[in-house]
Amino acid sequence: MLRRFFSAVLLMTLLGCAGAPSVPVEPQALLRDDAFARPAQAISAAEVFAIDDAMRDYLRSAWPLMRRHGKPKGLVDALYTRGELKLEYDASYTRNASQAFAARAGNCLSLVVMTAALAKELGLEVEFHSAYADETWSRSGTLLLRSGHINITLGRRAVDRARGEDARHWTIDFLPPGEIKGLRTVRLAENTVVSMFMNNRAAEALAREAYDEAYWWAREGLIADPSFVGVINTLGVVYQRSGRLADAERVYNALLLRHPHQTQALHNLSQLLEQQGRHAEAKPLAARLAALEPEPPFHWFVQGQLALRRGDARQARDFFAREVARADYSSEFHYWLALAQYQLGEVEAAQRSLEKAESLSTSSSERDLYAAKLAWLNQRKH
């Protein structure tokens, strides 16, 4: 089954998490088109779900299945049950529908977008849902990324028997069934999904320090859905990273005016004020943040790294173990736990942690790295 997404750390949202209804901002009041070079290739919301000839050919080849089982179930069988496409999970890059189909790989959002594009080509009703799942965090350089969860349903969820509507529907999810059961979901509008896609692309550009590109992706995401909290915060991060601190402050304040307890904006604005020596203004924000989030993401992980630098592998192991206990999904946490365990001579435990890190890897390069470390450790054991 497919799985899902420090000093000077900036917090961002990837994919988007379900939450309270958002109040939209006025995009033009926050945008600064004059400050960023336009991308060589125009960014278009239409390309997110665009379908190409190869995808149409695939649908034609799957037509016998759809004729036998109906379009929704036939499409699900063709894509996932029979495994003809041999799709792979790859969190390294957020692909649009045609890119995910060509690569036969993608993260959760990419695979949802690809499935939706094929379903829409067949004239099927499509619903997107965000689930209230435990948040997950990852790191890219000095960016911390919070990932939400999204799935897709083909066909109608409700039935009106008087009108003779077909109640059959199929939900495609990329979490194991045990994690899906009992999750409360909220329906997402398609424009919000487009905004999530643009937000992911902006985050990926930020990780490469491509600030001009990141701005235009965030801009299009904000225009697609001015109420999506994740992309508003990301726009602030783009400004902050590119040195436009007044613009970043304006964005964070606009977000906090609508969502006073938005922890990412609180963190980022507090950091921005500290950078400018405005300690008195930053202090109440930091206090609010500490009350909302006493142990922020990566807290014990950072403590573990500091302990390793001090040469205290035992304390580092304990700190890493605490981070693993609350975020078992992170391959990075398991890897660093393995390092501390190895330094303490706990070779068997280090091997188990490395095996876990490899199994949780979200990209081929990460899997190759952990596999190489594991092979080296096994060789040392023998």
Maximum average pLDDT range among 9-23, 91-105, 249-263, 361-375? 249-263
* pLDDT for res 201: 94
Please check whether residue 162 lies inside any domain of the structure: yes
139 pLDDT tier (thresholds 50, 70, 90): low
Domain stop point among 152, 177, 201: 201
**Phi/psi of residue 46, nearest 5 degrees:** -65, -25
Domain stop point among 201, 222, 253: 201
Instruction: Give the model confidence (pLDDT) of 31-75 as tens digits.
Output: 999 999 999 888 999 999 999 999 999 999 999 888 888 888 888
In the chain, how many domains are there? 2
Tokens 């001579």, residue?
345
Please check whether residue 312 lies inside any domain of the structure: yes
Instruction: Give the model confidence (pLDDT) of 187-204 as tens digits.
Output: 889 999 999 999 999 999
Please check whether residue 62 lies inside any domain of the structure: yes
Instruction: Give the model confidence (pLDDT) of 299-316 as tens digits.
Output: 677 788 888 889 998 988
Whichever domain contains 37, its CATH number is 3.10.620
- Are 194 and 318 in a shared domain? no
* pLDDT for res 342: 84
- Are 193 and 314 in a shared domain? no
CA 343 vs CA 5, 315, 337, 339: distances in Å = 31, 12, 10, 6
Distance CA 273, CA 270 (A): 5
Q: What is the mean pLDDT of residues 133-155?
A: 62
Domain stop point among 201, 233, 250: 201
- E strands of the chain, at which residues? 10-14, 88-89, 105-106, 126-131, 136-140, 143-147, 150-155, 169-172, 185-188
* pLDDT for res 357: 81
Which residues, in sequence order, are bridge partners of residue 152? 128, 172
- Are 164 and 32 in a shared domain? yes
- Are 31 and 154 in a shared domain? yes
Quick check: 124 pLDDT over 70? yes
- Are 312 and 175 in a shared domain? no
**Contacts of residue 283, Cβ cutoff 8 Å, sequence gap at least 6:** none
- Are 38 and 186 in a shared domain? yes
**Lowest-pLDDT choice from 144-158, 281-295, 317-331:** 144-158
Maximum average pLDDT range among 13-22, 78-87, 231-240? 231-240
Please check whether residue 275 lies inside any domain of the structure: no
Listed residue (90, 117, 297) closest to 204, CA to CA: 90
Please check whether residue 156 lies inside any domain of the structure: yes
Quick check: 115 pLDDT over 50? yes
Please check whether residue 261 lies inside any domain of the structure: no
Sign of torsion over alpha carbons 38, 268, 310, 356 = negative
Please check whether residue 336 lies inside any domain of the structure: yes
Domain limits at 72? 10-201
231 pLDDT tier (thresholds 50, 70, 90): very high
- Are 51 and 172 in a shared domain? yes
Percent of the chain with pLDDT over 90: 41
Please check whether residue 325 lies inside any domain of the structure: yes
Higher local confidence (pLDDT), 120 or 164: 120
Quick check: 135 pLDDT over 90? no
176 pLDDT tier (thresholds 50, 70, 90): very low
The two most distant CA atoms of the chain are separated, in Å, by 72
- Are 195 and 335 in a shared domain? no
- Are 168 and 313 in a shared domain? no
Distance CA 282, CA 266 (A): 9
Helix (H) or strand (E) holding 241: helix 229-241
Whichever domain contains 321, its CATH number is 1.25.40.10
* pLDDT for res 131: 65
Distance CA 116, CA 118 (A): 5
